[in-house]
Structure 1
Amino acid sequence: MDLFTDIVDFDKQHPIYKLIKEEEYWAERAVLNEWAKGFQDRDNKFVQEFQTTFEPCLWELYLHAYMKELGHVSDFTFDVPDFVMVREHEFCIEATIALPAVGQQPAHSFGKDTQLGDLNEFNSQAALRITNSFMSKVKKLRERYSKLAQCKDKPFVIAIASFDRPFSHFSASRPIRAAMYGLYHDEEATLASNAEEVISYNVDAAIKNGKTEIEMGLFCTPEFSDVSAVIYSSLATWGKLRALADNPSAPTVFQTFTPNPDSIIPNVHTAQKSDYHEHLLDGLYVLHNAFATHPLPPNVLGHPRLAQCYMQEDGYLDFDAPDDFLLLRYLMSLKYT
């Protein structure tokens, strides 16, 4: 599959696709080409969509690379869903991304003057966009996929990546925890009170457009038992390509945040590209549904570098993640002219 020979007009190409074609990003192109090995363009539209929309296709290629990392094999003879895993575990994955609301800025549009704004509003809106994407795939599952032979009586996983606004990668796990488990970490209240622990509480809804309540905590009841788990990342982005690219001379500085066992303030690490190392699955979450009709054993999607979350019978959330789990990554690059 040739991703980088133009088949659409320049003015229709996605800004990140235009950027990655520049000569200096040869190593990032190599990462994508490696991810794409074995991936099949079943409807002969993927390359066109990659060049015009980029982010949904990036997420699909990332998921394909994730499955290869675990040794799973997908049967691409089926037109839907996106991944039908046939060896050595059988399950299905449908991919989607959280997109901006109509009329709002895309994820790639931030600049030096772009501000995060109120953190609670940022997190709430991010959770709404995730929920919207989740529900659209549940509708497809119930109306079509559940009736197909390749999906019947198998675990079904929805994979969601955050591309819903500028700085969407800053959302980390806050919106997905609220959307799936109804647990909200209130950063504004924590910062205002100088608390020694993050102020957290349960939420059952978020407000859309100032008036409509949208349900949160979707994995807290049996209502969505037909979904076994959610795969989630806010970091499977252009930054992930930059992090994995084998180009140690790139004039880029990486700053990352990892958990701090002694404080609510995370550990901060800074490294030049030549000294920076990141795994494909760093920053990835698998959130399991305790009410799933077809639950997934932990080893099916598990890996030492990612986080898995389970809800216990008492409602407590159990996170299994490496001590240096990647919470946030951003980078600063020099552009020579």
Structure 2
Amino acid sequence: MVRQFQETFHSTYWEIIIYQLCLEAGFFLNQSHPFPDFIIKKPSEFYIEAVVANIKQTGIPECKRTIEDQLSMLTPPHLQKDFADVLNESIIRSSNAIFSKIKKYEDYKKEQWFDEKKPFMIALSSCDQINYGREFIYSMMALLYGRYYIPHENGCIIKKYIKKGETGAELPLGIFLNSDYSQISAIMYTCTNTIGKLTALALSKGLHTFNSVLDVIRDEEDEELPFKFRIVSNDSPESISDGIFIFHNPHAKQPINPRLFENTNVTHVFLENNRLVQMGITTPLYTRFSINSFMAQPLFNEIIASSAVKWNNITPDIINQMFNEKL
């Protein structure tokens, strides 16, 4: 019963987020048909089909989450001993979710009102394990483009498959490198669609909440100190589209125009000249930490300083020199 509620909640919550994103982008919707989930009419016609990657039946349910699990959100990948397991599980669960919607697409094509000449985008919310969010976008980089992240090298290797832990079966990576999936224009993705998102949105509007929120942001244009920290407030808000990425299919028959989302904080990812490049917001939300407001004020500065050392892999004395300037 608890698991069923969680899965239903995540699906409904994700569709609400997508709807609000459409409003933020200035889209006009046509909901005269039961599917796909979102039929965009203006400024350009395309489809969005929503899906959630949930925890597997034998996985640890969210109700078992501990304070240690919450604190793990502030541990960077290169210090996570189980990061490879987290990444692989996310790839597997995300693959299952995406392919369930690829099958749906084949059913949709049979409907007279469905137009194959319009872009079709799958919107995936990753809620695939008790500590979902720790995988960031690395699961998508591997599953879609075959770029498998190695934390201690802070880089990727080309990988064609991973093995499923329970069966040993091979799961192919780099599905966007295969023209067989050219009917999928792009994958919209987030792994930060948590209850903390609601708290962050409330704080951004100046509303009172019992929790405070710290966002970890990756600044792609700052090689010296790429990870920044934002205490969410009315003065430093988090928007509905923060933490949402769109991964574009280089083989798409009907590509999505990234300019459709120019009024949002969506980050776009493309494969160009055999390299992954980003467009749009270049300071995307990496992860989020929520804590009781009574504890937040005395702890946040300490958390920011210690986290900056860990995330940016530098020494405390350097942080002390740069603290006032960049954090």
Taking structure 2 as the reference length, the TM-score comes to: 0.78
AA of the residue aligned to 1:255:
L
TM-aligned CA deviation for residue 140 of structure 1: 1.2
Pair 1:256-2:215 in alignment? yes
Partner of 1:17: none
Deviation at 1:251, TM superposition (A): 3.9
Closer, same or farther in 2 for the Cα pair 1:51/1:286, shift >3 Å?
closer
Change (3 A) 1:200 1:51: closer
Q: Following the alignment from structure 2 to structure 1, what is the Cα–Cα distance between the partners of residues 232 and 103?
A: 45
**Could you tell me which of 118, 141, 155 is aligned with 1:199?**
155
* Alignment of 1:56 onto 2:7: no
Instruction: After TM superposition, give the deviation of residue 277 of structure 1 in Å.
Output: 1.3
**Separation (CA, whole Å) in 2 of partners of 1:178 and 1:218:** 9
> CA shift at 1:282, angstroms?
0.9
Out of 102, 105, 110, which is 1:147 matched to? 110
2:64 corresponds to 1:100: no
How many Å separate the matches in 2 of 1:318 and 1:216?
19
Equivalent residues in 2 for 1:279-294, closer than 5 Å: 279-294=239-254
- Which residue number in structure 1 is paired with residue 275 of structure 2? 316
**Alpha-carbon distance, 1:272 to partner:** 6.3
Q: Mark the CA change 1:52 to 1:130 in structure 2 (over 3 Å): closer, same or farther.
A: closer
Alignment of 1:71-86 (within 5 A): 71-86=26-41
**Equivalent position amino acid for 1:238 in 2:** I
SS of the aligned residue for 1:170 comes to coil
Give the one of 221, 226, 238 matched to 1:278: 238
Matched, 1:88 2:43: yes
Q: 1:107 to 1:215 in 2, by over 3 A?
A: farther
Distance 2:81 2:275 in 1: 31
CA distance in 2, matches of 1:127, 1:67: 27
- The match for 2:180 is 223
Question: Could you tell me which residue of structure 1 aligns to residue 292 of structure 2?
Answer: 333
Change (3 A) 1:216 1:273: same
Residue 265 of structure 2 corresponds to which residue in structure 1?
A: 305
**CA RMSD across the alignment:** 2.5
Matching residue's letter, 1:161: S
CA distance in 2 between counterparts of 1:294 and 1:128 reads: 26
Contact kept in structure 2, 1:249 and 1:274, CA below 8 Å:
no
**Superposition deviation, residue 253 in structure 1:** 2.9
**What is the CA distance between 1:250 and its match in structure 2?**
2.5
Is this contact kept in 2: 1:50–1:57, CA < 8 A? no
Match of 2:256 among 288, 291, 296: 296
Is 1:212 aligned with 2:172? no
Q: Report the CA distance between 1:229 and its aligned residue.
A: 0.6
Amino acid at match of 1:90: E
Q: Deviations over 1:4-24 (max 9, x none)?
A: xxxxxxxx578xxxxxxxxxx
Deviations 1:69-103 (A, max 9, x none): 11112211101111111222111111001111122
Alpha carbons 1:162, 1:233 under 8 Å: kept: yes
User: In the TM superposition, what is the alpha-carbon distance from 1:141 to its structure 2 partner?
Assistant: 0.8
**Cα deviation, residue 241, structure 1:** 0.8
Distance in 1, matches of 2:61 and 2:294, equals 23
SS, match of residue 60 in structure 1: helix
**Which amino acid in structure 1 is aligned with residue 247 of structure 2?**
L
State the AA in 1 paired with 2:123.
A
Mapping 1:236-255, distance limit 5 Å: 236-245=193-202, 246-255=205-214
Work out which structure has the larger RCO, using CA pairs closer than 8 Å and 6 or more positions apart in sequence. Answer: 2
Question: Cα deviation per residue 1:10-59 (whole Å; 9 max; x = unaligned)?
Answer: xx578xxxxxxxxxxxxxxxxxxxxxxxxxxxxxxxxxx98982110000
The answer (yes or no) to whether the contact 1:255–1:329 under 8 Å persists in 2 is: yes
Please tell me the residue identity of whatever aligns with 1:204.
K
Separation in structure 1 between the aligned mates of residue 51 and residue 134 of structure 2, nearest angstrom: 19
Report Cα offsets for 1:96-138 as digits up to 9, x if no partner.
0111112212346421144675101111110111111001100
How big is the shift at 1:178? Answer: 0.9
- Which whole-Å CA distance do the structure 1 matches of 2:87 and 2:209 have between them? 33
When residues 139 and 323 of structure 1 are mapped into structure 2, their CA distance, relative to the original with a 3 A threshold, is closer
Tell me the SS of whatever aligns to 1:166: coil
Given that residues 106 and 164 in structure 1 are in contact (C-alpha distance below 8 angstroms), is that contact kept between their aligned partners in structure 2? Answer: no
Structure with the higher helix share, 1 or 2: 2
For the structure 1 residues 272 and 155, does the alpha-carbon distance in structure 2 shift closer, same or farther, using more than 3 Å as the test? closer
**Structure 1 runs not aligned, ≥5 long:** 1-11, 15-48, 191-197
Q: Distance in 2 between matches of 1:274 and 1:305?
A: 17
Alignment TM-score, normalising by the size of structure 1: 0.76
Report the Cα distance in structure 1 between the residues aligned to 2:62 and 2:262, rounded to whole angstroms: 28
CA 1:227–1:72 in 2, change beyond 3 Å: closer, same or farther? same
